[in-house]
Structure 1
Amino acid sequence: MTIPANWQKSSFSGGGEGNDCVELAAGPGTIHLRESDTPATHLSTAPGPFAHFLHHIKNGLYASTPV
Protein backbone atom coordinates (compact mmCIF):
# COMPACT_ATOMS: atom_id res chain seq x y z
CA MET A 1 0.00 0.00 0.00
CA THR A 2 1.28 3.46 -0.88
CA ILE A 3 1.42 5.91 2.02
CA PRO A 4 0.10 9.33 0.97
CA ALA A 5 2.37 12.37 0.97
CA ASN A 6 -0.28 15.05 1.63
CA TRP A 7 -1.30 14.82 5.28
CA GLN A 8 -3.58 17.43 6.88
CA LYS A 9 -3.58 18.19 10.61
CA SER A 10 -6.78 18.34 12.58
CA SER A 11 -8.21 21.80 13.19
CA PHE A 12 -8.39 20.78 16.87
CA SER A 13 -4.61 20.31 17.15
CA GLY A 14 -2.95 21.98 20.10
CA GLY A 15 -0.42 24.77 19.82
CA GLY A 16 3.29 24.45 20.51
CA GLU A 17 5.30 22.14 18.32
CA GLY A 18 2.19 20.77 16.63
CA ASN A 19 2.97 17.16 17.55
CA ASP A 20 -0.24 16.49 19.50
CA CYS A 21 -2.65 15.94 16.68
CA VAL A 22 -4.35 13.55 14.35
CA GLU A 23 -3.49 13.80 10.67
CA LEU A 24 -5.60 12.65 7.73
CA ALA A 25 -4.83 11.91 4.09
CA ALA A 26 -7.22 10.81 1.36
CA GLY A 27 -6.29 8.35 -1.34
CA PRO A 28 -8.37 6.70 -4.05
CA GLY A 29 -11.29 5.23 -2.07
CA THR A 30 -9.31 5.26 1.19
CA ILE A 31 -8.93 7.53 4.21
CA HIS A 32 -5.63 7.30 6.13
CA LEU A 33 -5.25 8.45 9.75
CA ARG A 34 -2.14 8.80 11.88
CA GLU A 35 -0.91 10.46 15.04
CA SER A 36 1.67 13.15 14.32
CA ASP A 37 4.20 11.86 16.86
CA THR A 38 4.19 8.35 15.29
CA PRO A 39 3.85 9.04 11.55
CA ALA A 40 5.05 5.60 10.45
CA THR A 41 1.96 3.99 12.01
CA HIS A 42 -1.38 4.71 10.38
CA LEU A 43 -4.88 3.32 10.00
CA SER A 44 -6.84 3.07 6.77
CA THR A 45 -10.58 2.91 6.17
CA ALA A 46 -13.13 3.54 3.45
CA PRO A 47 -14.83 6.96 3.23
CA GLY A 48 -18.31 5.62 4.12
CA PRO A 49 -17.45 4.08 7.50
CA PHE A 50 -15.23 7.07 8.33
CA ALA A 51 -18.09 9.50 7.61
CA HIS A 52 -20.38 7.38 9.82
CA PHE A 53 -17.78 7.45 12.62
CA LEU A 54 -17.40 11.26 12.37
CA HIS A 55 -21.18 11.70 12.39
CA HIS A 56 -21.40 9.75 15.64
CA ILE A 57 -18.55 11.70 17.22
CA LYS A 58 -20.12 15.05 16.27
CA ASN A 59 -23.41 13.93 17.82
CA GLY A 60 -21.76 12.80 21.06
CA LEU A 61 -22.59 9.13 20.59
CA TYR A 62 -19.03 8.00 21.43
CA ALA A 63 -18.49 10.40 24.33
CA SER A 64 -18.64 9.16 27.92
CA THR A 65 -21.00 12.06 28.60
CA PRO A 66 -23.19 13.62 25.89
CA VAL A 67 -21.75 16.69 24.21
Structure 2
Amino acid sequence: MTKRQEPKEGDIVLVKEDNTKRENWPIGRITSVLPGSDGLSRTVEVSANNKRIRISAKKNPRREHLPGQ
Protein backbone atom coordinates (compact mmCIF):
# COMPACT_ATOMS: atom_id res chain seq x y z
CA MET A 1 0.00 0.00 0.00
CA THR A 2 1.43 3.37 -0.97
CA LYS A 3 0.97 6.50 1.05
CA ARG A 4 -0.66 9.31 -0.88
CA GLN A 5 1.12 12.61 -1.22
CA GLU A 6 -0.44 15.22 1.03
CA PRO A 7 -1.76 18.29 -0.78
CA LYS A 8 -0.27 21.64 0.17
CA GLU A 9 -1.10 25.29 -0.34
CA GLY A 10 0.04 26.55 -3.71
CA ASP A 11 -0.24 23.19 -5.50
CA ILE A 12 -1.57 23.52 -9.05
CA VAL A 13 -4.35 21.00 -9.64
CA LEU A 14 -6.91 19.83 -12.16
CA VAL A 15 -10.40 20.09 -10.68
CA LYS A 16 -12.41 17.05 -11.72
CA GLU A 17 -15.90 17.80 -12.97
CA ASP A 18 -18.42 15.01 -13.44
CA ASN A 19 -19.84 14.60 -16.94
CA THR A 20 -17.00 16.68 -18.40
CA LYS A 21 -14.08 15.46 -20.48
CA ARG A 22 -10.75 15.58 -18.67
CA GLU A 23 -9.27 18.07 -21.13
CA ASN A 24 -12.01 20.52 -20.12
CA TRP A 25 -11.43 20.30 -16.35
CA PRO A 26 -10.41 23.69 -14.94
CA ILE A 27 -6.94 24.30 -13.56
CA GLY A 28 -6.90 25.63 -10.01
CA ARG A 29 -4.59 26.39 -7.11
CA ILE A 30 -4.97 25.04 -3.58
CA THR A 31 -5.50 28.05 -1.30
CA SER A 32 -5.90 26.17 1.99
CA VAL A 33 -5.72 22.64 3.39
CA LEU A 34 -8.17 21.62 6.11
CA PRO A 35 -6.99 18.66 8.20
CA GLY A 36 -9.24 16.12 9.88
CA SER A 37 -9.10 15.19 13.57
CA ASP A 38 -6.31 12.71 12.73
CA GLY A 39 -4.14 15.49 11.30
CA LEU A 40 -4.35 14.24 7.71
CA SER A 41 -5.64 16.43 4.90
CA ARG A 42 -9.33 15.77 4.39
CA THR A 43 -10.59 18.87 2.57
CA VAL A 44 -8.91 21.46 0.39
CA GLU A 45 -10.05 24.86 -0.76
CA VAL A 46 -9.27 25.50 -4.42
CA SER A 47 -9.40 28.71 -6.42
CA ALA A 48 -10.42 28.02 -10.03
CA ASN A 49 -12.31 30.07 -12.61
CA ASN A 50 -12.57 33.02 -10.18
CA LYS A 51 -14.38 30.81 -7.62
CA ARG A 52 -13.31 29.19 -4.38
CA ILE A 53 -14.61 25.71 -3.75
CA ARG A 54 -14.07 23.12 -1.02
CA ILE A 55 -13.54 19.57 -2.13
CA SER A 56 -12.44 16.26 -0.70
CA ALA A 57 -8.68 15.83 -0.73
CA LYS A 58 -9.17 12.10 -1.27
CA LYS A 59 -11.36 12.24 -4.39
CA ASN A 60 -10.20 15.48 -5.84
CA PRO A 61 -8.20 17.47 -6.90
CA ARG A 62 -5.74 15.73 -9.21
CA ARG A 63 -2.20 17.00 -8.97
CA GLU A 64 -0.62 16.88 -12.38
CA HIS A 65 2.73 17.87 -13.80
CA LEU A 66 1.68 20.91 -15.77
CA PRO A 67 3.87 22.89 -18.16
CA GLY A 68 6.13 25.30 -16.29
CA GLN A 69 6.30 23.26 -13.10
TM-score, normalised on structure 2?
0.31
| Between structures 1 and 2, the one with greater strand share | 2
| Between structures 1 and 2, the one with greater helix share | 1
Q: Which of the pair has more CA radius of gyration?
A: 1
TM-score, normalised on structure 1?
0.31
